[in-house]
Structure 1
């Protein structure tokens, strides 16, 4: 990124502010809602994906640590703001398809897979907006959706919306974001290890100015998340549905537009 103009640097910084806000506000979207804009500034995803991955590791772990210091350990055996039991179930389902995606053991057409995931997420999002959350009624279907999300997150970083569409059915809203943060931390650590293994530049020098930009958005997002949690009970999921629908629209446009 050394040959960019001043305007491009400013735009990238503002997009990372937006990325931090979305990530901490809902627990996902830092990659999928910022990468399309970043690629308009510089059309090279391998420049931005390592930066986004490191940001997620930093801010997800920091948020979980701060929230658990603030609230103390829960008495239900699940540990503070993270539902570790459900997290373990998610990992048991996701880990194999995640690794398949990371190492390219099975190669499927990217546009078709992305299109499928965005259509499914759009259906979920409309149900949240209408305050009639869709439930598959089948554990088998939920597992298939999670496996698909795991595979997509291995090949890129856009599998989160489908994983959330399933997880939101089973987790209370107070634990949804931080449980997802713990999940993203583990999954992104695998992805980042793959980047190191193949010798992709992690753009470490650019973290000096992009981490503070993302931190500004992160702090604003934390405030917005607290407001959502203390608002009327269905507002959180309506906002979640709206963001998921936006993700789907942007994704479908980028794939088939």
Structure 2
């Protein structure tokens, strides 16, 4: 990213604040709701994906650890786990192979093709948000299909969360959903980071020095959003986000095509 202009760096910093805010607030979406904006600044997915991956590893593990410490400090009669380990093991067994296939697809595909695929995926997600009809799973077969497709998309671009969340939301208690997803993302992203290191992808370590604090600011703000989300109706919030994402995705697709 050394060749970018000063205002592009400011835009990237703001987007990573937004990413941290969404990730800690929802437990998912930090990538799917920020990657389209990042690709409009500089359309090279492999520049941003290592940065996003490291941020997810840091803040997901920190959140789960702090929540675990908080739960352990409560009286035994009130103590609850914030991670549904039983369903997490089932999901990982289903998702592991498609995840690895997706990682290979990301590494092999040219950057412009990968960018176009990402924008198409985001456009589909955004329409589901606008119509207030997010992806939902109603059977075990559909559950497994959504988990496999979500794992593959996650392998290619780290934006498979909406499909995975559609399944987890039906099987994991609301108070456990975010931390269970954080543990899942941590495991899946660790696999992707190992692949990045193996093939020699530039992990952009220098840019972590200034982007990690940006994500941290968003993370702290997102913790407040999470408390609000547990109590409030969020359909209007997602409609607004969906509209913005659809616009960005269409602009991005036109840019890639032309």
TM-score normalised to structure 2 length: 0.82
Q: Please, which moves more after superposition, 172-181 or 115-124? A: 115-124
Aligned to 2:38: 38
CA drift of 1:195 comes to 0.6
Deviations 1:82-103 (A, max 9, x none): 1111111110110111112112
CA drift of 1:5 comes to 2.3
Query: Does the CA-based 8 Å contact 2:47-2:204 persist in structure 1?
Result: yes
Equivalent runs, 1:47-196 vs 2, <5 Å: 47-72=47-72, 80-104=81-105, 115=120, 119=124, 122-123=127-128, 126=131, 136-196=137-197
Give, in whole Å, the separation in 2 of the partners of 1:192 and 1:166.
Answer: 25
What SS is found at the alignment partner of 1:181?
helix
Query: Does the CA-based 8 Å contact 2:24-2:222 persist in structure 1?
Result: yes
Q: Please, which moves more after superposition, 86-95 or 30-39? A: 30-39
The answer to which structure has the higher helix fraction is: 2
Give, in whole Å, the separation in 1 of the partners of 2:36 and 2:137.
Answer: 30
Query: Does the CA-based 8 Å contact 1:121-1:162 persist in structure 2?
Result: no
Deviations 1:59-108 (A, max 9, x none): 000000011111228979x9721111111111011011111211249x99
Superposition RMSD in Å: 3.2
Question: Does the C-alpha gap of structure 1 residues 170 and 242 become closer, same or farther in structure 2, counting only changes over 3 Å?
Answer: farther
Query: Does the CA-based 8 Å contact 1:161-1:244 persist in structure 2?
Result: no
CA drift of 1:121 comes to 7.9
Question: Does the C-alpha gap of structure 1 residues 197 and 248 become closer, same or farther in structure 2, counting only changes over 3 Å?
Answer: same
CA drift of 1:137 comes to 3.1
What SS is found at the alignment partner of 1:28?
coil
Q: May I ask how many residue pairs the two structures share in their alignment?
A: 247
Question: Does the C-alpha gap of structure 1 residues 112 and 171 become closer, same or farther in structure 2, counting only changes over 3 Å?
Answer: same
Give, in whole Å, the separation in 1 of the partners of 2:247 and 2:96.
Answer: 27
Query: Does the CA-based 8 Å contact 2:137-2:166 persist in structure 1?
Result: no
CA drift of 1:153 comes to 1.0
Give, in whole Å, the separation in 1 of the partners of 2:191 and 2:245.
Answer: 25
Point out where structure 2 has 5 or more consecutive residues left out of the alignment.
Answer: none
Question: Does the C-alpha gap of structure 1 residues 134 and 88 become closer, same or farther in structure 2, counting only changes over 3 Å?
Answer: same
Deviations 1:20-48 (A, max 9, x none): 00000001111111111112222221111
Give, in whole Å, the separation in 2 of the partners of 1:170 and 1:73.
Answer: 27
TM-score normalised to structure 1 length: 0.82
What SS is found at the alignment partner of 2:194?
helix
What SS is found at the alignment partner of 1:201?
coil
Query: Does the CA-based 8 Å contact 2:20-2:30 persist in structure 1?
Result: yes
Query: Does the CA-based 8 Å contact 2:129-2:239 persist in structure 1?
Result: no
Query: Does the CA-based 8 Å contact 1:73-1:80 persist in structure 2?
Result: no
What SS is found at the alignment partner of 1:168?
helix
Query: Does the CA-based 8 Å contact 1:33-1:247 persist in structure 2?
Result: no
Give, in whole Å, the separation in 1 of the partners of 2:165 and 2:126.
Answer: 9
Deviations 1:118-153 (A, max 9, x none): 64785587456xxxx875432111111111111111
Give, in whole Å, the separation in 2 of the partners of 1:10 and 1:113.
Answer: 23
